[in-house]
Amino acid sequence: MKFHLRRLDREIKDQKALRLLLNHSQYFVLSMSDGDEPYAVPLGYVYDEAENTVYFHCAKEGKKIEFLKRNPKVWGLVVLDRGIIEGACVNLYASAMFSGKVEFVHDASEKTRVMNLFAEKLSRDVEGVKQRLQKIFGGGETTPDSVVFAKIVIEGLTGKRSTEMTIEKLLELTA
């Protein structure tokens, strides 16, 4: 069953704005299911705009891994929340929601590229972080199996915003 956004006046259709939201946020909520059991977890991530892909890392065993192995179809959500506008009882927010399938990354060079994407997103000292990650995890052919990266190639992307969060305001806040 496919649903549509009821409040079309709040839909974000601007793909540039949605990509900026994905680039701007520090974490996303990954929702998955195993049969009739749902599970959602917040995760750090990087968005590769050129590949339209979200990458995340996790432990190599546990509930999340088991769910994803049995059902790789997922839903993701990022939120830009600027809080309540004083005296207006209005929450200034925008969200990007996406669907896709999880694939685990096994290729050592892709793992190294993803580690570098994380370094670029999370630190101003990109080279220092890259060197630290290289020391901890190795790189190239020596990337250890303990580093589990997964990717979600985005199949569907939509968004919703409060009425007061204009596209112009959203672009300003995520620039």
CATH number of the domain enclosing 69: 2.30.110.10
Would residue 121 count as lying in a domain? no
| Helix or strand holding residue 132 (H, E) | helix 126-137
DSSP bridge partners of 5: none
Least confident of 11-15, 73-77, 137-141, 146-150: 137-141
Would residue 132 count as lying in a domain? no
| Helix or strand holding residue 53 (H, E) | strand 53-58
Of 70, 1, 73, nearest in space to 31 by CA: 73
If pLDDT is split at 50, 70 and 90, which confidence band does 2 have? low
Would residue 29 count as lying in a domain? yes
Of 73, 66, 35, nearest in space to 155 by CA: 73
Q: What is the mean pLDDT of the chain?
A: 85
DSSP bridge partners of 34: 37
Would residue 53 count as lying in a domain? yes
The model's pLDDT over 25-58, given as tens digits with 9 standing for 90+, comes to: 999 999 999 999 999 999 999 999 999 999 999 8
pTM equals: 0.85
The model's pLDDT over 79-99, given as tens digits with 9 standing for 90+, comes to: 998 877 777 777 888 999 999
Check residue 138 and give its pLDDT: 60
Which domain covers residue 81, as residue numbers? 8-103+149-164
Would residue 43 count as lying in a domain? yes
